[in-house]
């Protein structure tokens, strides 16, 4: 199967022996990791009304008001 490297868009063979897949190289893998670290990518999330969270299931790391 052929796939496209998400970083450089190079067409590569999907090979289970490639520890960098879906990237074509370690360089492309690290560029992508750096983009995540710099918060260039974001996973969409929805706002949650605190009143909709059942008692006892609040986020223990959330700031208290």
Query: Annotation-wise, does 24 bind a ligand?
Result: yes
Query: Annotation-wise, does 62 bind a ligand?
Result: no
10-residue block means of pLDDT along the chain (65 residues)?
A: 94 89 94 94 83 70 62
Query: Annotation-wise, does 46 bind a ligand?
Result: no
Domain ranges for the chain: 2-37
Query: Annotation-wise, does 8 bind a ligand?
Result: yes
Judge if pTM exceeds 0.85. no
Cβ neighbours for 12, distance < 8 A, ≥ 6 positions apart = 2, 3, 4, 5, 18, 21, 24
Q: Does domain 2-37 have CATH number 3.30.50.10?
A: yes
Q: Does residue 6 contact residue 13 with C-beta atoms inside 8 Å?
A: no
Q: Look at residue 64 in the predicted model and tell me its pLDDT.
A: 61
Distance, CA of 53 to CA of 47 (rounded, Å): 12
Q: Does residue 20 contact residue 32 with C-beta atoms inside 8 Å?
A: no
Q: Look at residue 54 in the predicted model and tell me its pLDDT.
A: 77
Q: Does residue 4 contact residue 11 with C-beta atoms inside 8 Å?
A: yes
């Amino acid at each position: 199967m052929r796939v496209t490297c998400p970083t450089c868009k190079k067409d590569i063979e999907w090979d289970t022996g490639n520890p960098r897949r879906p990237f074509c190289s370690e360089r492309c893998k690290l560029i992508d990791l750096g983009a995540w670290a710099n918060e260039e990518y974001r996973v969409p999330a929805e706002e949650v009304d605190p009143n909709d969270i059942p008692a006892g299931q609040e986020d223990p790391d959330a700031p208290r008001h």
